[in-house]
Structure 1
Amino acid sequence: MTLPVGFVVELDRHTRAVDGGRALVGGFPTRLIRLTPRARRLLAGRRIAVRDAASALLADRLLELGMANPVVSALPAQPHPPYSVVVPVRDRPRQLDRLLGSVGTGHPVIVVDDASRRPAAVAAVAALHGARLVTLPVNAGPAAARNAGLRHVTTPFAVFTDSDVVLHPDTVPTLLRHFADPRVALAVPRITGLPGPADGWIGRYENARSSLDLGHHPAAVRPGSPVSWASTACAVARVDALTDGFDGSLRVGEDVDLCWRLIKQGHRVRYEPSARAAHEHRARLDDWFLRKLVYGTGAQPLAERHPEFIAPAELAPWSAAFLAALLAQRRWSLPVAGAVAGATALRIARKLDGTSHPHRLALRLTAIGAVGALGQASALLTRHWWPLTALACTASRRARRAAAVAALADLTLEHRRDRAGLDPVRYGVARRLDDLAYGTGVWLSAAKGRSTAALRPRIVR
């Protein structure tokens, strides 16, 4: 399978052309690829348009390495893409009515009632919009409900959307463009907050920091990258790639599991932020906190299914040594951490031998790696390992200092970036509650599964 003529990709924002355009550095994990003179001629600025076998091969290779993304506005569009909409729902007739009013006409809509307490209300809304109703006698959860709907799909594409979502008119058409790449099995939009009256401080925080919002930049969804999973609150899927469907035994994390299974099978999953779907975020503190905790409980079941993907942090040996030196907080900490970083930069420079300014580039890559390691350490201390951090703080001044620095650095960087419309105090409280809830869920799932797999960082070369 190759990319079709007319397919256009653009270098990812993290990809840099070096050595006068003779090489590219980027991807996840970061790597350097050298371009032949013919390959260099295929690059028009930062874009490659597929015109022949050579350009298709180069574009496909860059997509596979995470060094480029499709230019969705330039992708071939299907005039009348055949797709069905599958909506799992339990009660929520008002939200269902709002959603079905946004999905448009001209395609089948399948509403799966997952044992509603008021089934008549759901049935009335489905009938009003001409949707097919599938009723489950026992509440089976969103994964099993989607599978029940999927069994009635006869079109080549299926759109999965939750009842508390509202689609924009161009959401599905934009996502369908990604399927011009024959390896794409799933494409997801950016999930934003549903416009409406100003919520309380939790609502404003959630609009800026929703777990479903994967950011401003397009990306390949893959473990170990900035977009390591994607939500199926709204998603378009190639039906013939969903041979096993969702894992019906999962009540949470079923979307993560599906993404990772598709990737293992050699498919691609794309995140496209230019397509958007609005989600009715939880704004009540108790409801929001419980939902974050439930998200965390998916960690151990995912660890059992995908042990190679679930680690809360992935560190290279050098970055683990770098962090260990800093966290020791001794007189020798800074010199040792500096020596580790310096030795790493020299090792990277040797691998870049033959390019112009290899040491300058190596220093830059080492600095990026060090910042990334510090960010992961901060997340471990304040989120995944917070019970251990709290326990250590009761007995160690160094632990208290490390926890305070991690929390303050995280607050400073994230508050500036998110622009949630909250003052630093309320934003900081919401941020720590977010971490507290999710981390608690992870520990509860680890205790239930009698395994620390979801809590152990991974050292990778």
Structure 2
Amino acid sequence: MKDSSMPLTLRPDSRLRSSRDGRVLLGGAPSRMLRLTPSGARMVRAWLAGQPVGDAPAARALAQRLLTAGLVHPHATAGRRTVDEVSMVTPVKDNEAGIARLLAATTELATRVIVDDGSVTPLASATVRHRRARGPGAARNSGLREVRTELVAFLDSDVVPDPGWLDTVLPLFDDPAVAAVAPRVRTFAHGVLGRYEARRSSLDMGGEPALVRPGSRIGYVPSAALVVRRTALAELGGFDETLRYGEDVDLIWRLVAAGHVVRYQPEAVVRHAPRATLRAWLRQRYDYGTSAAPLAARHPGQLYCARLPRTTGWRWLTVVAGHPGLASATVGAPVRKLRELRGHGLPLSTAVSVVGAAELAAVAQLADALRRIWWPAALLSRRGRRLLLAVYLPTAAGAAVRGRDPRAALLRIADDLAYGAGVWASCLRSRRVEPLLPQLYRTGVSADATR
């Protein structure tokens, strides 16, 4: 919880739903239902209208329950921290021009540590130099050892932060539980690759704030731009230097497992330059995919190609597999869920919206898994090839209808294929299958009573 000496204001998560009297709240990831007393409902209404939470222990406890559930997010108002408490660490290899841009955009930071990770031509601006490339995790750890401030801003050499980007990041660290905050990573939209990345960059987590943790709407954030509490990072031994890719995902999950809070703050923005050539871009996507099996080995149960409610997942998986008759046993589940939500006091329109969104999300996840992960297996059967065609056609049709460059549709398909190839390669090398499988979890909205 934020330092009680600082005012705390809250804003609702975009998926928050409530009963008409405000005494039942539904949202979060995984979905959770909170029942409030009349006084609790009045407090929440006031907070969501902009009133500060205040210092009363009961109010702070209720606010903490809402924050932990992901039903609300802290509104980043002026905090007590300044940029003097932040040092920058940047790993770089053969990108002197990028370092020059980054240094020009971060003059407000007194300490900036540049780690040259084995560049062919040593960088004059480097603080630390590795004689041979050891990977971004090792480079960040080397830079971390040079830092004395409490907060560390890890920024890659192909990133340029917007002016004032730390203004909405630093206040979140007034909460001592917060160990890391990630800004939004947007793309310089130059050329066809830049325009594609501007819409579908794997580093851009969208425009809504989020509590970051496995299994939630945003399960990780990239280390291309990440502000971390140095003590929390030191407690975990820094980045895992044995991971060439996915070291940022691993770090975030270890922080969360250790009880720390990680937040995504899209009001803070940095700009990222995509790879300069198509070949380098496809290689990057493939490399991202190769992190799947090593991460699965380190974090059992956290790597999957889709995460679906058990009954919903079973219903749609049997349809995809060509056995829709097997799904008949679960067709009544949406109706039962609708009745359950209505029984908790949610308006009919809200209940229908929640149930419908869950069904659409399941279909979207399976389509995404088919495009990105299952395509090698799908090519082996006629039905699989038809399903692939069915999920790829909307991509091409959408580009045509919207008048977009048709190359964007081809890039989307190439993006999916390259990433999936990397996942399969890593699974075959390590003989692991978890990243290729969906995770079906038990449904039922957990209901908690609180003030």
- What do residues 267-299 of structure 1 show as CA deviations (whole Å, max 9, x unaligned)? 111111110111111142111111100100011
Pick the aligned partner of 2:194 from 203, 210, 222.
203
Shift of residue 342, structure 1, vs aligned partner: 2.7
Q: Quote the Cα distance in structure 2 between the aligned partners of 1:438 and 1:360.
A: 39
Q: How far is the alpha carbon of 1:178 from its aligned partner? A: 1.1
1:365-395 Cα distance to aligned partner (Å, 9 max, x none): 3222111110111011111111011112xxx
Which residue does the alignment assign to 1:166?
Answer: 160
Match of 2:48 in 1: 46
Letter matched to residue 409 of structure 2: G
Match of 1:130 in 2: none
- Of residues 231, 256, 263, the one that matches 1:263 is 256
Structure 1 residue 174: deviation in Å?
A: 2.3
2:147 matched to which residue of 1?
153
Q: Distance in 2 between matches of 1:442 and 1:80?
A: 39
Contact 1:75 1:180 in 2 (8 A): no
| Residues 1:302 and 1:415: Cα distance change in structure 2 (over 3 Å) | farther
Whether the aligned pair in 2 keeps the contact of 1:2 and 1:56 (CA below 8 Å) is no
- Is it true that 1:340 corresponds to 2:330 in the alignment? yes
**Aligned residue for 1:185?**
179
For residues 79-122 of structure 1, give each alpha carbon's deviation from its aligned partner in whole angstroms, at most 9, with x where no partner exists: 45411111111121111111111111452111111121111xx1
Cα separation, 1, equivalents of 2:23 and 2:13? 17
Contact kept? 2:337, 2:355, Cα under 8 Å: no
State the TM-score, normalizing by the size of structure 1.
0.88
Give 1:256 deviation, angstroms.
Answer: 0.4
CA distance in 2, matches of 1:354, 1:18: 8
1:388 maps to what in 2? 377
Determine the structure 2 residue equivalent to 1:29: 30
Matches within 5 A, 1:57-456: 57-72=61-76, 74-119=77-122, 122-123=123-124, 125-126=125-126, 133-194=127-188, 198-199=190-191, 201-242=192-233, 243=235, 244-329=237-322, 332=325, 336=327, 340-347=330-337, 349-350=339-340, 353-355=343-345, 357=347, 361-392=350-381, 396=382, 398-409=383-394, 422-423=404-405, 425-456=406-437
What's 1:8 paired with?
9
Label 1:45 to 1:411 Cα distance change in 2 as closer, same or farther (>3 A): farther
| Offset of residue 356 of structure 1 | 5.0
Conserved 8 A contact 2:79-2:170: no
CA contact under 8 A between 1:7 and 1:76: conserved in structure 2? no
TM-score, normalising length from structure 2? 0.90
The 8 Å contact of residues 156 and 224 in structure 2, kept in 1 or not, is answered as yes
Aligned AA for 2:343?
D
Whole-Å Cα distance in 2 between the matches of residues 415 and 265 of structure 1? 47
Distance 1:257 1:385 in 2: 24
Q: What is the aligned-residue RMSD (CA, Å)? A: 2.3
How far residue 415 of structure 1 moved from its aligned partner, in angstroms, is 9.1
Q: Unaligned stretches of 5+ in structure 1? A: 127-132
For residues 123-150 of structure 1, give each alpha carbon's deviation from its aligned partner in whole angstroms, at most 9, with x where no partner exists: 2x35xxxxxx112222110000100111
Deviations 1:150-171 (A, max 9, x none): 1111111111111111122211
* Number of corresponding residues: 436
Q: 1:356 to 1:150 in 2, by over 3 A?
A: closer
**Equivalent AA in structure 2 for residue 179 of structure 1:** F
Alignment gaps of 5+ in structure 2: 443-451
How far the C-alpha of 1:403 sits from its partner, in A, is 2.2
Residue aligning to 1:129: none
1:352 deviation in Å? 5.5
Over 3 Å counting, the alpha-carbon distance change for 1:81 and 1:340 in structure 2 is farther
Q: Is the 8 A contact 1:207 1:281 kept in 2?
A: no
Contact 1:113 1:136 in 2 (8 A): yes
Change in CA separation of 1:361 and 1:97 when aligned onto 2, cut-off 3 Å: closer
CA offset digits 1:283-339 (Å, max 9, x no partner): 421111111001000111100111221111112221122113422556747xx55x6
